[in-house]
Amino acid sequence: MPPSAAPGRPSGLDPAFGSYRPPTGEEVEASIPVLIDAWYATYPDPSIESIYRAGLTVAVERVFGDDSRERVNDTRIDPYRWVAMLEITASDGSRWRGTGWLVSEYLLVTAGHCVYMPDKGGWVSSIRVRFGANGDDNGNLTAEAAPSVIATDFRSVAGWVRDQNSDNDYGAILLPSPMSADYGSFSYEARSDSELRNQLFNVDGYPADKALYTQWYFARYSAEVAPRTLSYTADTYGGDSGAPIYDYNGGRVALGIHTRGDLVSNAGVRITQNVAANLTQWENEAARQQEVTSAREAASGTQALSSNIIRRLESINETLQSLTTRVTRLEGRRSGGQTRPTSQPTSTTAGQDEPVSNEPVGNQPVRGSESSSSKAAGVAVRESATGRRQVGESQSSRRSKKRSEKSPLSQSNNDFTEG
């Protein structure tokens, strides 16, 4: 069980913090690298962006009144290890940051503008996902709950990709390899308006006004419940884009995706029935892709093994053929006769000198005089024990005339002349 909330903290506020002194403004400005919130990639403000990249803390999203955000000291425990910092590389090569969160071992949910940036080339090139990242006050990475991965497979919806409608600003990241089955993840559900009113929303992410890789958390009651969005005065900042809006008391159930803020409130996409259906579909797609990848890897291993076996069998066959040739030659020397190349076809039912056909196995060989079909084709070709070929009808007639005068061996040797 988590420890009880500190006095004065709203019931339901996730309590797994510890003592922490937030860095001063000068420390923050000195420690933040040039990696700003993905929000600015889609809603650029040249003056704000230039100030931010210079190291000053200006953002569209709001900290209301006193900054009451709490730093998560141990990001290796649930649910903080389910939250990931995103290091985003856009299609044009620019770099940004955001937040995502696991809903299965295969899928991470985030804001649509973290995966599709219409003003930066569309679909982003890649995202490094750092699960439960933690850092020091100087912005140095000190821990991760799981090894980071680089993802290149993303999802969003037409309402964002085509229309850039902020009410549809959500997407997903299909992980290149699954998390362990016991790693855990948020659940999600679509709740009614009445259930969401006066709901305590927890928001957990990687704000850009704090030291890099540090995870921060806050909770506030809902300010407005709209058909597609949730609004709240919870303190967020650039970098929190894509963070989960979840109910801690209700089993850490995600109710929305944080996407933006203004001078009045911060807001996110509400998980409706349609949004939940898309998340489930993407979960299934990610799971199927992992199954296909595993099957391909298994098939590749089997194919490599099969290829190795085939090569060994071919080597054994070559060795056997070589031994057979040597034995045949040795027997020929002992008998004083001529040996026939082992590659020549032989008959198992007739004598060694009887010609055989090159027809496929199962067809009757043409022996003696040509058949009508052979005449129609042109010529009949036969092989002797010496490997010579007989072509044409006249040779067959000569063989018939001489058959009574020759022995089988001399007949074979004299009937066939080179064609």
Residue 241 appears among annotated catalytic residues: yes
User: Which residue of the set 166, 222, 241, 412 is catalytic?
Assistant: 241
- Say yes or no to pLDDT of 253 above 70: yes
85 shares its domain with 224: yes
**Between 343 and 128, whose confidence is greater?**
128
268 shares its domain with 358: no
Q: Note whether residue 53 is domain-resident.
A: yes
Q: What are phi and psi of 288, to 5 degrees?
A: -65, -40
User: Which residue of the set 31, 94, 104, 113 is catalytic?
Assistant: 113
CB 132 within 8 A of CB 145: yes
**Most confident by average pLDDT, 112-126, 253-267, 301-315, 377-391:** 112-126
What residues are paired with 382 via a beta bridge? 390
CB 383 within 8 A of CB 345: yes
Domain of 398 in residue numbering reads as 353-419
Among 253, 269, 291, the domain boundary falls at 291
Q: Note whether residue 419 is domain-resident.
A: yes
Distance CA 186, CA 372 (A): 81
**Most confident by average pLDDT, 17-31, 289-303, 326-340:** 289-303
Distance CA 124, CA 118 (A): 9
285 shares its domain with 368: no
- The count of domains in the chain is 2
Q: Note whether residue 12 is domain-resident.
A: no
151 shares its domain with 282: yes
Residue 400 appears among annotated catalytic residues: no
Mean pLDDT rounded to a whole number for the chain: 73
Q: Note whether residue 339 is domain-resident.
A: no
Among 276, 291, 306, the domain boundary falls at 291
105 shares its domain with 252: yes
Q: Note whether residue 9 is domain-resident.
A: no
105 shares its domain with 225: yes
286 shares its domain with 360: no
Confidence (pLDDT) at 171:
97
Q: Note whether residue 180 is domain-resident.
A: yes
107: tokens are 């899928």
Stretch 269-276: mean pLDDT, rounded?
97
Nearest to 398 by CA among 385, 413, 378, 414: 414
369: tokens are 């005089």
94 shares its domain with 239: yes
Q: What confidence tier does 151 reach under pLDDT thresholds 50, 70, 90?
A: very high
Q: Note whether residue 54 is domain-resident.
A: yes
Unique residue bearing structure tokens 């006004």: 209
Sign for the CA dihedral angle at 267, 261, 185, 110 comes to: positive
Among 257, 291, 325, the domain boundary falls at 291
Confidence (pLDDT) at 302:
66
226: domain CATH number? 2.40.10.120
Q: Note whether residue 158 is domain-resident.
A: yes
378 shares its domain with 260: no
Confidence (pLDDT) at 321:
80
What is the DSSP annotation of 197-232? Answer: TT-EEEEEE--TTS-TT--EEEEEEEEEE-SSEEEE
User: Per-residue pLDDT tens for 154-188?
Assistant: 999 999 999 999 999 999 999 999 999 899 999 99
246 shares its domain with 357: no
283 shares its domain with 377: no
